[in-house]
Amino acid sequence: MEQLNHHNPEYVTWKYEALHFTMLGGIRIEGLHSMRVTLKVDCKTFPSIRHGLDLYNESQTQKLVKSIAERFTLSTTYTHTAVGHLINTIEDYRLTAIDNNKLKTLQQKPALTKEEITEAETFLKTQNLLNNTNELIGQSGVIGEETNRLIMYLVFTSRKTNRPLHIISFGSSGVGKSHLQEKVGELIPKEDKIELTSVSGNAFYYYVDDDLGNKLILIEDYDGVFAALYSIRELQSKQKISKTITVRDKNGNQRTLHLTVKGPVSIAGCTTSEHIYEDNANRSFLIYLDETEQQDEKIMDYQRKISAGKIDITAQQKIQKLLQNVQRMLQPITVRNPYAEKLIIPREVFKPRRTNAHYIAFIEVITFYKQYQREHKVDKETGEIYIETTLEDIAEANELMKNILLKKSDELGYATRKFLENAKQYVQSNGLKSFTNKQIRIALKENPSSQKKHMVELQQYGYVKKQEGDKKKGFIYEIVNMQEYNQLQHIINTTLDNILHSQLRHSGVVSSSKEVITTAEPLKAATTKKRKQVVQ
């Protein structure tokens, strides 16, 4: 009995005395609960048998045994023994391949030189670490998106903590969502990330043990993983997934197999659809890409410079390697926030429990990233080593999260909000008090079907109302409150700033508060709107 010949992974052969077995298309390593193969069986000068089956399926295997015995005039006992040895050989091959893959993963982690360690540590000890990091991200080839790229980088960094964060990038088709995620993802070591374009419903259950532990999963488009959305949500919430399946052993007996895959993981993805993936969005930071003309010009200017050979690609790669090494130097350590009990998110935020957890965890990530600048303290009772959050960390988190909290406090979807703000700008700049659908459609170059959807939503929530008109001649509309979004934004900013000011005063650092944040007089909150039925 020979070993498997797998020199050609798509054409694996094996011989048992007079029988020659060929696995067309190779042997699947993943999914140990089944053994699906396409077999070609030869014996002497007899015509070949070709059979696609699951060798763990007893009825399919028995049919194969019978077909081989009848075609090649062999005894059923002999044929059954040959197929049994084939199954055992494939099992051994798959288990060995899994172990080798684990070993390769370990070997992929490069050992840093003394110079690389020193360079990374020196950078992690610099003042204004977040600003310096953001500058390097820009120099690595990420154009614009200054706030979004830093938030994304910190979320990716959270994979090394016990409570990783997740992020979803929204934007119109072709605006560069996948590009931003890909470029920031290049700053994360290869051994720490898994990039996916398409995933089946059960794919995540067949990772081995802790293969996903502290990994970053990058999803190019949520449409490609629609079948696995439930698994993704469970990984985000529980940091593990489990599944019980029934399999047959080599003797044909059924048995129960319990599959468990453990995290924690940080998951990032892109989509143009806000509402379809709402359950996943609730578990994630939501960022909306800059679609302004200024950002368009920045990107096009960069594209022209690349074509002209004026971009130093080698310098970009060096920066990418530095930030990858910075990530490798970050070590697991407990973060304690002595101010956590005083941190209260604005009441206007929807789903405050989950958002509050995200806010606190984001502050901890910033502290975690600054671990080389913090004193390592020891808990006298437990002996646990930890570092502490500072007010500076909270101030930086507040600045980065204000826009995220604003979006989580807005009852309108991003596309509808963008439409409304553009409509406000059009009305104000032209000195108008009302407008028609045609005026706005022409001015904003809006698709008619999209405009209709936005207008229905705006009327349902009471942001726009009809002044006069009818279905035949058309309606004239009025924006109810031109300042409601600014008021909501001010409430979010003021709430966060006041909490920080309070902690600064309590700590006796009143004078430095002006250097951290700027406050303003609170405005009256916008009136809450009740959704109502609208006939368009």
The 10s digit of each residue's pLDDT in 491-536 is: 999 988 888 888 877 765 543 334 443 333 333 333 444 444 444 4
Query: What local confidence, expressed as pLDDT, does residue 130 receive?
Result: 97
d(CA 412, CA 289): 17
- Please name each of the domains of the chain with its CATH number: 11-108 (no CATH), 133-332 (3.40.50.300), 414-482 (1.10.10.10)
- 468-494 pLDDT tens trace: 888 888 899 999 999 999 999 999 999
Q: Report the candidate in 162, 227, 153 with the shortest Cα–Cα distance to residue 193.
A: 153
- 276-311 pLDDT tens trace: 777 788 889 999 999 888 999 999 999 999 999 999
Token readout for 11 is 């054409």
Give yes or no for a contact between 153 and 176, defined as CB atoms under 8 angstroms apart.
Answer: no
Query: What local confidence, expressed as pLDDT, does residue 97 receive?
Result: 83
d(CA 460, CA 439): 21
Place of tokens 């022409």: 442
Mean pLDDT of the 410-427 span: 92
- DSSP 8-state secondary structure symbol assigned to residue 508: T
Our CA dihedral for 353, 358, 359, 363, rounded to 10 degrees, sits at 140
- Which of 184-188, 247-251, 441-445, 504-508 shows the lowest mean pLDDT across its residues? 247-251
Q: Report the candidate in 457, 460, 430 with the shortest Cα–Cα distance to residue 443.
A: 430
d(CA 402, CA 136): 23
Token readout for 298 is 């920045």
Place of tokens 């049919």: 63
Give yes or no for a contact between 391 and 504, defined as CB atoms under 8 angstroms apart.
Answer: yes
- DSSP 8-state secondary structure symbol assigned to residue 72: T
Neighbours of 407 (CB within 10 A): 20
Give yes or no for a contact between 167 and 180, defined as CB atoms under 8 angstroms apart.
Answer: no
Query: What local confidence, expressed as pLDDT, does residue 103 receive?
Result: 53
Is the pLDDT reported for residue 340 higher than 80? yes
Kindly give, in sequence order, each residue whose CB lies less than 8 Å from that of residue 449, ignoring residues fewer than 6 positions away.
none
Mean pLDDT of the 185-195 span: 95
Is the pLDDT reported for residue 134 higher than 80? yes
As to burial, measured by CB atoms within 10 angstroms (0-12 exposed, 13-18 middle, 19+ buried), residue 192 is middle
d(CA 462, CA 117): 58
Q: State yes or no: cis peptide before 264, omega within 30 of 0.
A: yes
d(CA 150, CA 231): 27
Token readout for 210 is 């802790």
Give yes or no for a contact between 54 and 36, defined as CB atoms under 8 angstroms apart.
Answer: yes
- 428-442 pLDDT tens trace: 999 999 999 999 999
As to burial, measured by CB atoms within 10 angstroms (0-12 exposed, 13-18 middle, 19+ buried), residue 383 is exposed
- Which of 46-55, 163-172, 180-189, 254-263 shows the lowest mean pLDDT across its residues? 254-263
Query: What local confidence, expressed as pLDDT, does residue 531 receive?
Result: 45
Query: What local confidence, expressed as pLDDT, does residue 514 receive?
Result: 40
Is the pLDDT reported for residue 223 higher than 60? yes
Give percent of the chain above pLDDT 70: 91
Q: Report the candidate in 497, 525, 288, 524 with the shortest Cα–Cα distance to residue 408.
A: 288
d(CA 349, CA 477): 29
Q: Where are the alpha helices (DSSP H) in 166-292?
A: 177-185, 229-238, 278-281
3-state helix, strand, coil in the chain (%, to 5): 50, 15, 35
Mean pLDDT of the 344-348 span: 87
Give yes or no for a contact between 479 and 454, defined as CB atoms under 8 angstroms apart.
Answer: no
- 351-373 pLDDT tens trace: 888 899 999 999 999 999 999 99
Query: What local confidence, expressed as pLDDT, does residue 280 receive?
Result: 80
Place of tokens 């300042």: 483
- 86-118 pLDDT tens trace: 999 998 888 888 777 665 555 467 789 999 999
Query: What local confidence, expressed as pLDDT, does residue 454 receive?
Result: 94
- 142-162 pLDDT tens trace: 999 999 999 999 999 999 999
- 388-414 pLDDT tens trace: 999 999 999 999 999 999 988 899 988
Give yes or no for a contact between 16 and 86, defined as CB atoms under 8 angstroms apart.
Answer: yes
Give yes or no for a contact between 40 and 48, defined as CB atoms under 8 angstroms apart.
Answer: yes
Mean pLDDT of the 74-82 span: 93
Give backbone dihedrals phi and psi of 313, rounded to 5 degrees, phi first: -65, -35
Q: Report the candidate in 415, 425, 408 with the shortest Cα–Cα distance to residue 482.
A: 425
Neighbours of 308 (CB within 10 A): 8
Give percent of the chain above pLDDT 90: 61
Query: What local confidence, expressed as pLDDT, does residue 98 receive?
Result: 76
Helix axes 391-409, 484-506, angle to 10 degrees: 160
Neighbours of 30 (CB within 10 A): 15
Mean pLDDT of the 370-385 span: 94
Which has more pLDDT, 201 or 159?
A: 159
Q: State yes or no: cis peptide before 346, omega within 30 of 0.
A: no
d(CA 163, CA 242): 19
d(CA 256, CA 271): 38
- Which of 80-89, 166-175, 201-210, 404-413 shows the lowest mean pLDDT across its residues? 201-210
Give backbone dihedrals phi and psi of 383, rounded to 5 degrees, phi first: 80, 5
